[in-house]
Structure 1
Amino acid sequence: MKNLNLGILAHVDAGKTSLTERLLHTAGIIGELGSVDDGSTQTDTLALERARGITIKAAVVSFALGDVTVNLIDTPGHPDFIAEVERALGVLDGAVLVLSAVEGVQAQTRVLMRTLRRLGIPVLLFVNKLDRRGADPGRVFREVTAKLTPSAIAMDPMDLDQVIDLLATLDEGFLTEYLTAPDAFTPPRLRAELTVKVAEGLAHPVYFGSAITGAGIDALRDGIENLLPAGESAVDGPLSGTVFKVERAPGGEKIAYVRLFSGSVSVREKVPLGDGEGKVTAISVFENGSAVPSGSVGAGRIAKLSGLDVRVGDMLGARTRGWEGLFSPPTLATVVSPVRPSDRGPLHQALTRLAEQDPLIGLRHDEVRQETSVSLYGEVQKEVIQATLADEYGLGVTFSETTTICVEHVSGTGSAAELIGKAPNPFLATVGLRVGPGSPGSGISFRLEVELGSMPYSFVKAVEETVKETLREGLHGWEVLDCVVTMTHSGYYARQSHAHGTFDKSMSSTAGDFRDLTPLVLMAALREAGTTVHEPMHRFVLQAPADTLGPVTALLTQARAVPRTTVTKAGTAELEGEIPAVKTHEVHRFLPSATRGEGTMETAFHGYRPVRGAAPTRSRTDHNPLNRKEYLLHVLRRV
């Protein structure tokens, strides 16, 4: 059978999990529909998911649809858990994007559709909740074509004239052929042509119905089976797979959810993992609604593998595709503190385990203050972390006030060097570095102006790795983004031994010398170059009654927002602009009172902007290479 790894995505409360339940019920996987409100759905298994009626963790369940095995991945809809969606997108063959027939296109709907189209993932749209009062499928379809994709086409029934118009718009070759021989394009051929454009991510069929009543589900199932392409797989190719989820078995063993793009894996087989390898001790594959043990798994499938020491994002074998950077990074942070001071150690260990499952948690430990902070997308994540720590680890925690995560950009060019055997350098290494700004989005680029063979490669690698690690905290304590670091000087003492072959560390350079010296040289160069602190910004679209424009403008001014455009039409004012990420919660909180409850605001990450006024600082968690005396006391236990 063919395999289709299908994602169900939506803005929160559009009915995504209810649609998953209906698809499973129609396929005969469950005998009775679960309820989100009652906490009885198949894919929401966490206690907090059932209590709040939202999806927090992506869940996988399988069912057969004709000759296709569908691995259905139910993803979170709340924007606080966008990282979970991001990981799922890296393993999908197709997606169903769910909209509410009442609320229509919402903020998260736009974000998801933009990303799906950018990745070229085939998408079907399902307008749900036709049974609800206020449902207006015509209005929602117009919103879809205006705000999501101009290549939407209503299905069930399929209007052949609309299909012809759409195909002619998308493909000049089709238009030429159709004008020459229109009778050759029978309904089956038109559907085949549409199927090709859907698979290419260019055409987007739209279905209408209700997950609760079952209306429109048969047509959607037909679209899933016949319009979405099954995943390409090369079972005989080299091993390549992506870990998109990690959970722990009751005994503490890691279980990795892996999508295999090529090759196969068997129980007791050793598989390459980055620079090392791991041995698979058990395999489960998804069949008919549950995970069942299997001796092996091949390309195109999703499986649960035990025995591997992995994190989310790790690759098995060769790298193919992933999900890094699809959405904005988390822009908020909070300090997590144990209710009982004696739990500081267990809390750090528990948070480290959670970071294995979610790399964007961004764990950061301050040894001096004995504080651990985590990164956040929003306040709801605090509840999830708190509930998880209580339920799984028996730890009670509190949180500090949420703060903004800033970044630093290099302002100019700076250089520094310390030579081996010359004061005040106490290390057996020569390191010279030049630091300069890089292009936006380029990350940290490490270059050489010394000959690669002038010293052991392990020493060069030690400098490069230390540079990237050190730049996690710049002059003001924030991560330094987008810069070029060039190694300009190098030198070392060759390995020395005593007469009996005993290694003499006091006269021989080691990688440790380069790791210890690099932060001092790098930060000296960075201090000469200078950095500016940037805060995260959101782009906003705010709609409100035109007669409330005064109070709305005052609210935005107080929040340091910068409106770029203001358009008034039919009694409604629409403002677009930029706002500091830290202020979005404040505007959301006060907007109802400023607009008689009629105002709405959508926001999305829009990069960084230099901070106005005094630059905020963040306490350091390293040994502070900006202070030579303090640094050497930590590293050498002497000055």
Structure 2
Amino acid sequence: MKTLNLGILAHVDAGKTSLTERLLYAVGVTDQLGSVDAGSTRTDSLTLERRRGITIRSAVVSFVRDDVTVNLIDTPGHPDFIAEVERVLGVLDGAVLVVSAVEGVQPQTRVLMRTLRRLRIPTLIFMNKVDRAGADPERALHAVAEKLTPAVVAMGAVRAAGTRQARCTAYGPADTVHTERLLDLLARHDDALLADWVQDGSALPYSRLCRVLAGQTGRALVHPVFAGSAITGAGVDTLISGITGLLPATRGDTDAPVSGTVFAIERGPAGEKIALVRLFAGTVRVRDRIPVGASGTALVTALRVVANGTDEAASSVAAGRIARLWGLTDARIGDPVGVPPERGGADRHFAPPTLETVVVPAHPAGRAATHAALSQLAEQDPLINVRQDDRQHEITVSLYGEVQKEVIQATLAEDFGVAVTFQETSTVHVERLCDVGTAVEVIAVAPNPFLATIGLRVAPTPIGAGVSFRLGVELGSMPQAFFTAVEETVRRTLRQGPHGWEIPDCEVTMTHAGYWARQSHSHGTFDKSMSSTAGDFRNLTPLVLMAALTRAGTRVHEPVHRFRLEVPGDVLGTLLPALTRLDAMPTHTTGQGASYLVEGEIPAGQVHALERRLPGLTRGEGVVETQFDHYRPVRGPAPTRVRWNLNPLDRREYLLAVARRTGTR
């Protein structure tokens, strides 16, 4: 049997969870339709999801149709939880992008479609809510073609749109207007079809067009548009036929070496770690020992395969399927299982969080419990990036937005019994090198107190290049463990540059290396005072690296978002000064009848303020879309962030802290 791993994606409130419930009901997996409003949906299992009526964690359910097992992954629609969508993209065979026939194309819809097209994930579009008052499928289809992609074709007609009697009828070979549109779209990517169309005209069989449509949909060249209602079920059967007939299901090679990806982490009733794995190739059995991550192996102690609307205990899972695996205690999201798949789950598709906040326990004695609970949440969402200040003992998390903060607070209270508040949200900056810098500390030469020689040169690299570590000395000049200690410490130290912000792009070259070989007393005992250890290199590296960074100089950069504002024409005069006060820079203003489209840039730290003030500035008629675009140098004094561990910029304080930590003087 073939398998299709299908993502349901949408802007928040477009109806994707309702569509998931309708699909499960239509294929017979459930005998009662779940409701988001009633909190009875199959995929929104968290108490908070049911109470708020939004999806927070991705959920997987399954059904079988036309000899295809469809693993359905319902993803969050709110932009604050884009990290959940991030993790799912690497395991999808296809997607259904849900668009409301009432609201049309919304900000998150654009973000998702751009990503799906860039990754070439085969995608169907479902025009939902055709039964709602104000639904206009033709207008929504025009918006899809204009704002998402012109490579779309409607697969049916809607009658009585905007009423509870709305009905959707699939097009067929007798619908000549549809056939002409389909031919025109498909011929753009198929020279043979174009030649036959020119030669034979309308004599081309409709069955051939359907085969070509399936092929081009599977290659993400075109995107069929279906219409219907997740609430009434109108058009859903036609969508199901499109899912199994147009999207590329696979069988997978069950005899190949095991290859999969961990795309989610859960915790069981007893607190045990459960890894959700998409298996691309091979077969995994209970009691198998399999490679997980960059190094190390794990023994699979139990597994459950997603099937029949839930997951079922099984002795093995084969290629193409999704399973929950027990025993992968050190697994992290994005880790390969077995041979790393060609499409790795750890690739970044969306911008990282640009906000952060300090989590404050309601009771000082609950700090340890708060950190432990947040660490478990970080397994499910690594991008919250939990870290604790070793000096002030503050716990900080990264965020996409204010709603995410509310969800973290509620989750800690309900699932862990931990009450917390938050300090004011702040913007996460980065530091970039201004020039090249070098520094050297030599063994047994003051003021170096460590038994290690380290020389480092830092140099700026292009944006997005990441951190690279190179050797400018002979590899055999000292033990490999010492080189490893230096590299690991370099990467850790670069998380806090001279101003306290991460340096994401930098080339570090080790220019000098030296050590004292292992020495012993006459009776054979190890003499630490005469022998270098990896600890010497770990302790000295931050001092040398920070000196090199200081000489190179760094400049703090702030995250900047692109914005698109659609506003009534008569409020433009008051809107533009308000944007200026938010440090936003409009770059284009375009008239659109009685409204205006304003595009430009705004600091990430001002996005929430813009969203909060926009309704009052535009009588509630303004629509804003923002997306991270780039970092720009901060104007004025550079903001600093308090360091959360030892401070190598203060040599005396640093050495005293190291002495206390190691028990030396």
Same fold (TM over 0.5): yes
2:520 to 461, 474, 497: 497
- Structure 1 equivalent of residue 160 of structure 2: none
- Structure 1 equivalent of residue 221 of structure 2: 202
Does structure 2 conserve the Cα–Cα contact (< 8 Å) formed by 1:15 and 1:100? yes
- Structure 1 equivalent of residue 327 of structure 2: 307
> 2:585 and 2:250 mapped to 1: Cα distance?
45
Q: Does 1:433 align with 2:447?
A: no
- Structure 2 equivalent of residue 26 of structure 1: 26
> 1:394 and 1:592 mapped to 2: Cα distance?
37
Give runs of aligned pairs for residues 5-404 of structure 1, distance below 5 A: 5-155=5-155, 156-157=170-171, 159-180=178-199, 185-231=204-250, 233-273=252-292, 274-309=294-329, 310-320=331-341, 321-404=344-427
Amino acid at match of 2:597: E
- What RMSD, in angstroms, separates the aligned Cα atoms of the two structures? 1.3
Amino acid at match of 1:185: L
> 1:628 and 1:239 mapped to 2: Cα distance?
50
Does structure 1 conserve the Cα–Cα contact (< 8 Å) formed by 2:333 and 2:346? no
Does structure 1 conserve the Cα–Cα contact (< 8 Å) formed by 2:335 and 2:346? no
Give runs of aligned pairs for residues 478-557 of structure 1, distance below 5 A: 478-557=501-580
Does structure 1 conserve the Cα–Cα contact (< 8 Å) formed by 2:430 and 2:502? yes
Does structure 2 conserve the Cα–Cα contact (< 8 Å) formed by 1:5 and 1:231? no
Shift of 1:184: 7.3
Deviates more, 1:259-268 or 1:16-25: 259-268
Shift of 1:499: 3.5
Amino acid at match of 2:75: T
Does structure 1 conserve the Cα–Cα contact (< 8 Å) formed by 2:335 and 2:345? no
Shift of 1:496: 2.2
The percent of aligned pairs where both chains have the same amino acid is: 61
Shift of 1:54: 0.4
Amino acid at match of 2:171: P
> 1:91 and 1:573 mapped to 2: Cα distance?
40
Does structure 1 conserve the Cα–Cα contact (< 8 Å) formed by 2:262 and 2:345? no
Q: For residues 17-44 of structure 1, what are the alpha-carbon distances to aligned partners after superposition, in whole Å with 9 as ceiling and x for unaligned? A: 0000000001111111111111111110
> 2:385 and 2:122 mapped to 1: Cα distance?
32
Query: Any gaps of 5 or more consecutive residues in structure 2?
Result: 156-169, 173-177
Deviates more, 1:517-526 or 1:440-449: 440-449
Query: Any gaps of 5 or more consecutive residues in structure 1?
Result: none
Q: What SS class does the counterpart of residue 244 from structure 2 fall into?
A: helix
Q: For residues 85-104 of structure 1, what are the alpha-carbon distances to aligned partners after superposition, in whole Å with 9 as ceiling and x for unaligned? A: 11011111000000000000
Q: What SS class does the counterpart of residue 503 from structure 2 fall into?
A: strand
Given the two structures, how large is their TM-score scaled by the length of structure 2?
A: 0.94
Deviates more, 1:176-185 or 1:492-501: 176-185
> 1:600 and 1:141 mapped to 2: Cα distance?
19
Shift of 1:177: 4.5
Give runs of aligned pairs for residues 576-591 of structure 1, distance below 5 A: 576-591=599-614
> 2:183 and 2:468 mapped to 1: Cα distance?
49
Does structure 1 conserve the Cα–Cα contact (< 8 Å) formed by 2:105 and 2:144? yes
Shift of 1:555: 1.0
Q: For residues 19-77 of structure 1, what are the alpha-carbon distances to aligned partners after superposition, in whole Å with 9 as ceiling and x for unaligned? A: 00000001111111111111111110111111111000000001111100011000000
Does structure 2 conserve the Cα–Cα contact (< 8 Å) formed by 1:535 and 1:610? yes
> 1:185 and 1:444 mapped to 2: Cα distance?
56
Does structure 2 conserve the Cα–Cα contact (< 8 Å) formed by 1:240 and 1:262? yes
Q: What SS class does the counterpart of residue 325 from structure 1 fall into?
A: coil
> 2:222 and 2:519 mapped to 1: Cα distance?
68
Amino acid at match of 1:314: D
> 1:4 and 1:569 mapped to 2: Cα distance?
42
Does structure 2 conserve the Cα–Cα contact (< 8 Å) formed by 1:89 and 1:323? no
Q: For residues 378-431 of structure 1, what are the alpha-carbon distances to aligned partners after superposition, in whole Å with 9 as ceiling and x for unaligned? A: 111112111111111111111111111111111111100111121111111111
> 2:73 and 2:615 mapped to 1: Cα distance?
35
Deviates more, 1:230-239 or 1:369-378: 230-239
Q: What SS class does the counterpart of residue 481 from structure 1 fall into?
A: coil
> 1:234 and 1:306 mapped to 2: Cα distance?
23
Shift of 1:636: 2.3
> 1:449 and 1:596 mapped to 2: Cα distance?
63
Q: For residues 464-511 of structure 1, what are the alpha-carbon distances to aligned partners after superposition, in whole Å with 9 as ceiling and x for unaligned? A: 111111000001101112111111111112222334443322222222
> 2:410 and 2:335 mapped to 1: Cα distance?
27
Shift of 1:176: 3.1
> 1:531 and 1:210 mapped to 2: Cα distance?
54
> 2:98 and 2:220 mapped to 1: Cα distance?
17
> 1:175 and 1:465 mapped to 2: Cα distance?
58
Does structure 2 conserve the Cα–Cα contact (< 8 Å) formed by 1:297 and 1:303? yes
> 2:597 and 2:496 mapped to 1: Cα distance?
40
> 1:627 and 1:180 mapped to 2: Cα distance?
80
Does structure 1 conserve the Cα–Cα contact (< 8 Å) formed by 2:430 and 2:501? yes
Q: What SS class does the counterpart of residue 188 from structure 2 fall into?
A: helix
Q: What SS class does the counterpart of residue 38 from structure 2 fall into?
A: coil
Amino acid at match of 1:466: T
Gap change, CA 1:178 and 1:452, over 3 Å in 2:
farther
Q: For residues 237-262 of structure 1, what are the alpha-carbon distances to aligned partners after superposition, in whole Å with 9 as ceiling and x for unaligned? A: 22221111111111111011100111
Q: What SS class does the counterpart of residue 320 from structure 2 fall into?
A: coil
Does structure 2 conserve the Cα–Cα contact (< 8 Å) formed by 1:415 and 1:433? yes
- Structure 1 equivalent of residue 466 of structure 2: 443
Q: What SS class does the counterpart of residue 276 from structure 2 fall into?
A: strand
2:475 to 435, 443, 452: 452
